[in-house]
Amino acid sequence: MSRLSQILFGLISLVFMLTPGGAIFAHGELFYEINPDRYFTKPYNIGTSLSAVYLLFEPQNDHLSSFDFWFDNGGDAGNINFLVRNDAGTLLSSRTINIGHIPVTSGGVRTHVDLTSQISVINTKIYSVEIRSQLPNLQIYYANRVEIVGYQAQAISPYLIGVVKIGSAEQVFTFKYALYEVSDTTAPVIYATSTVNLSPTNTKI
């Protein structure tokens, strides 16, 4: 490879690793994502919200190590706090990141948040991520759940898609978000199943 090719390859790699505002592309294995086209999304201002802002979700997995949300920040750099709780309200993990100036961008900019350590979750339970910030220009992007699923889609739990809660009121929309795990060393657990022995070597689930 020529010196010029090496330089171009390095620049291309850097573009894929970094996004505006210092957001870094995700670490770990992506196992769930809600990322509709930007034309279906709208911004919600976190910094000026008078009520606590949450994403409620069923993880459909047994581990959680990190997540993405889509932000822009037309003002100065500052902090965002993320608090992960289980369905009993117990704090499982928290993380604070610094977000730089990100020009207002249709659909937002993907921003990755690594938890301090991977946590165990139960796939059928509802978990929450509370998002706190005092940045007056910080916006997070959301989409209407009906537009994501479609009017004719089979009815499913809204928490499989994600539900935004503002204060005590659940909304009809969800944030754009993605969930990751770093490693999974335990066998998967399958819930609500029954088995029928067909033969000494075959079982029907």
Residue 35 has pLDDT above 70, yes or no: yes
The residue assigned the tokens 């088995």 is 195
Question: If you average pLDDT over residues 112-121, what whole number do you get?
Answer: 95
Residue 155's pLDDT is 67
What tokens does 64 get? 């959680």
Residue 179's pLDDT is 97
pLDDT by residue (tens digit) across 44-98? 999 899 899 999 999 989 999 999 999 999 999 999 999 999 999 999 999 999 9
Higher per-residue confidence, 104 vs 26: 104
Residue 46's pLDDT is 94
Higher per-residue confidence, 182 vs 58: 58
- Are the CB atoms for 59 and 133 separated by under 8 Å? no
Closest CA to 59 of 156, 149, 161: 161
Rounded-to-integer distance, Cα 189 and Cα 121, Å: 11
Residue 193's pLDDT is 41
- Are the CB atoms for 181 and 63 separated by under 8 Å? yes
pTM of the model: 0.76
pLDDT by residue (tens digit) across 123-181? 999 999 999 999 999 999 999 987 666 544 566 889 999 999 999 999 999 999 999 99
Reported confidence tier of residue 195, pLDDT bands at 50, 70, 90 = very low
Higher per-residue confidence, 171 vs 186: 171
Residue 5's pLDDT is 38
b vs e for 29-45, b when ≥16 Cβ sit within 10 Å of the residue's Cβ? eebbebbbeeeebebbe
